Structure 1
């Protein structure tokens, strides 16, 4: 590890070292609670905070599944508190597919490389760097700030944010607003516009297991109750279904704030097609989605199995959960049932208020061409769990990125990396944000 960062080192200088150290700690989460866990990374974070006088608690929800929670008293502790949250776990990888080893934390081509460089040890490092500098200089935030570094976000947060929100509500006392991952990064679009996408909504999650039960029998005989046939037809209907476009308030605000245009369900798809690489991210927020991902049936070529199963990854827009499940049930047909593997809410908040102004102003101060715009995340974050505590949150991990860098494509992807200059930019923006929030 890089060890302690003391003395007069500024946040811009130490953020790279912190990010590299965190990447080198293996926190791979395969979703089966059998990996290395987050304990070592949690202890690292707690030690870095302890060096500047912050008392951090390391809380294990299960063996090795560790979370870090700390509270920094603000100038006016009577004000409502702000939550800064990041997760310590990362998704699995195949090192053979990478140019540089995913746990190397190597700096090359102006970037820090490794699993978590984008999702989301970069933000963890930025939070640590900013907090450390501010406290070394004796600068406290205007209000209390609660720092949370969670386990298990990549598998739904059962051992992390969900557990904290259910078992340790007292740690979030007074928290009404939050910032976390998947937002605040720049995207260059037509006409030289540099947008900074701030997450203001998330689609809901419905990971489902579909089951078709039929009549087992010999593969050479007639069988009108073939479970594989019933399942395959249902999966085909779901996979090919074209979900209608639904314009949510956040999607409408995105087009208005980004391009000064009003969109409806008819022209939204046309507008998305002009967004270039951004089309993949924004396009998934115009409609519900349901993608078949796994199939399982049978044990021998000449045996018709009694049961066949499939997994489907469903995502529904805020306000359209009921419509989503009504459609799914119709597509399933009478002989296929569904059950949840994981189900979580959709969330959405208005892109307005003091916190939004603080984010936009901090970006503008460091990038005069910045245009802060809201967007809907097609995936999910720990904010879902914290929203149950009444906390209103945004995705704001600020990074100014090169125009040709496919940043969104590196989430869970190969050769994940974050530019060094972007990390330094993010530190400056977060510091300004904390002064204004």
Structure 2
């Protein structure tokens, strides 16, 4: 009874914590520029007040992380890591209808940078820990909460540093849940039925951020120059931009297609004799309609040119030109990606990794995935929970180096007209209060009895 009565308190807390975390400006400007320390101290104070012993760990001045462990009732059970990041991407106040670091609560929403990505989720985790402390709930497994710095850049000051310098904090953890997944996606089936679908991430494409360099002969802009670095680089960038990557079905995305099809009433038989992804996936995606957006970007590798840099004066041919490419790689595709980059850049252009993190995937048949599904359906009966692979990446990649299988699960019950994906790094980022309250209940249900 006490557990039931305390949900109102937990709900009020998660809204307040989200608002107060947003007011702490933890903008990550990249290149080592950031200051998560005030948010880390705030989170640690709330956890300490719940009787826990959080550690604030700085990887560099201001770049702070928080880690604490909640002991489980079964010392033989493997631990479960629950992680979220404290940093946010920059926000231009001139583009927002509210100040991005106001944490304003109005119209049933908490507004500000980080509301969705991902201070709201951090607030849920803290609210769960405090709910347990008040009601005497103890999880079966050890639960390790980790709030990290620098996820919005390279994780060098956050999860990567923790894994390298403090792996003992995650001893015994076999699985993790973290950013993204577990939120409502409203879809319409071909027969007109409205569906609530909850994608849970069981994989992530790897990051392959590239630097391309072309070297040539400097000279006067009025002279014919067959060894022009800018021309060589531009040709390589154009080839990369135009390249059509082949479709590849990973286990996670194959499961996603099958389960999404079942929810929609669309036949999906990936094991049919003669099934050819290059030929048969495009019409299958058409039959899935808007639901195809859950998987479309994770059916192949990608490489998008994003930066160009060359020269200092229009009538001077430079000797060097560089470009940046944002590459993303499916599990099992790293050799294909590297080979393709060799072919597309050609003999005139060199490429190297500016930042590289491997793709990861976790089994969709696991007890943890089943428990996540059950926790969502207990709060939203009649919904559909499906596995997906994330287009981008999270700190799960770093924790995977410790052998921890990661899932994206930050549950939110969202209304039909709420475009969550558009708010990631977008203007007027906000989250419904009721979505946060729902998330606390689902997360507590999962973590307290996760198998």
TM-score bracket for this pair, using the shorter chain length:
over 0.9
Counterpart of 1:62? Answer: 60
Report how far residue 275 of structure 1 moved: 5.6
Counterpart of 1:152? Answer: 150
**391-400 vs 258-267, greater mean Cα deviation:** 258-267
Aligned with 1:207: secondary structure?
A: strand
Report how far residue 277 of structure 1 moved: 5.8
Query: In the superposition, relative to structure 1, how do residues 325 and 252 fare at CA in structure 2: closer, same or farther (>3 Å)?
Result: same
Given the alignment, which residue of 310, 329, 341 partners 1:316?
329
Report how far residue 41 of structure 1 moved: 0.2
Superposition pairs for residues 77-226 of structure 1, below 5 Å? 77-191=75-189, 192-226=194-228
Query: In the superposition, relative to structure 1, how do residues 320 and 334 fare at CA in structure 2: closer, same or farther (>3 Å)?
Result: same
Report how far residue 358 of structure 1 moved: 1.0
CA distance in 1, matches of 2:222, 2:7: 79
Aligned with 1:44: secondary structure?
A: helix
CA distance in 2, matches of 1:96, 1:348: 40
Report how far residue 357 of structure 1 moved: 1.5
Aligned with 2:168: secondary structure?
A: helix
> Per-residue CA shift, 1:268-325, capped at 9, x if unaligned?
3334346666545522101100000000101111111000000000001111111111
Q: Could you tell me the TM-score, scaled by structure 1's length?
A: 0.96
> Per-residue CA shift, 1:17-72, capped at 9, x if unaligned?
0100111100000112233x100000000000011100100000000000000011
Is 1:52 aligned with 2:34? no
CA distance in 2, matches of 1:98, 1:218: 46
Counterpart of 1:239? Answer: 241
Aligned with 1:236: secondary structure?
A: helix
Equivalent pairs, count: 430
CA distance in 2, matches of 1:11, 1:277: 35
Where structure 2 has 5 or more consecutive residues not aligned to the other structure, the ranges are: 1-5, 263-267, 271-275
Aligned with 1:405: secondary structure?
A: coil
| 1:86/1:180 contact within 8 Å kept | yes
| 2:83/2:145 contact within 8 Å kept | yes
Counterpart of 1:32? Answer: 31
> Per-residue CA shift, 1:344-400, capped at 9, x if unaligned?
100011101211111111111100022111101010000000001000110000111
Counterpart of 2:296? Answer: 283
Report how far residue 188 of structure 1 moved: 1.2
Query: In the superposition, relative to structure 1, how do residues 13 and 285 fare at CA in structure 2: closer, same or farther (>3 Å)?
Result: same
Counterpart of 1:334? Answer: 347
Q: Could you tell me the TM-score, scaled by structure 2's length?
A: 0.93
Superposition pairs for residues 258-407 of structure 1, below 5 Å? 258-260=260-262, 261-263=268-270, 265=277, 266-273=279-286, 279-280=292-293, 282-407=295-420
Query: In the superposition, relative to structure 1, how do residues 281 and 98 fare at CA in structure 2: closer, same or farther (>3 Å)?
Result: farther
Aligned with 1:194: secondary structure?
A: strand
Query: In the superposition, relative to structure 1, how do residues 333 and 86 fare at CA in structure 2: closer, same or farther (>3 Å)?
Result: same
Report how far residue 8 of structure 1 moved: 9.2
| 1:89/1:151 contact within 8 Å kept | yes
Aligned with 2:133: secondary structure?
A: helix
Query: In the superposition, relative to structure 1, how do residues 94 and 276 fare at CA in structure 2: closer, same or farther (>3 Å)?
Result: farther
Given the alignment, which residue of 229, 232, 257 partners 1:230?
232
